[in-house]
């Protein structure tokens, strides 16, 4: 029975890797490894302050903040699934 569960878990993890969010996180992590921690930190700050609050406090557009938030989420998702 444990072997069956392991196979089921593997299939589930594979399905998580077959998403746009995973691909986006993998691409960013591969292309900009030096920025991974920074984009995650910024995404967390955006989550805490909200899009408009972060944008206003940092002189950024809502669109730029949303892109950073989405990238940070994608990188965290990629790191969680790939680990």
Cβ atoms of 70 and 48 closer than 8 Å: no
- Percent composition of the chain: helix, strand, coil (DSSP 3-state, to 5): 90, 0, 10
* pLDDT tens, residue order, the chain (83 aa): 567 777 888 887 777 777 789 999 999 999 999 999 999 999 999 999 999 999 999 999 999 999 999 999 999 999 999 87
pLDDT of residue 60: 96
pLDDT of residue 1: 55
């Amino acid at each position: 029975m444990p072997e069956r569960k392991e196979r089921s878990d593997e299939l589930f993890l594979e399905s998580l890797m077959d998403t746009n969010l995973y691909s986006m996180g993998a691409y960013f992590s591969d292309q900009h490894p030096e920025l991974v921690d920074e984009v995650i930190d910024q995404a967390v700050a955006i989550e805490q302050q909200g899009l408009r609050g972060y944008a206003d406090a940092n002189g950024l557009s809502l669109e730029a903040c949303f892109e950073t938030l989405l990238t940070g989420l994608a990188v965290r998702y990629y790191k969680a699934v790939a680990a």
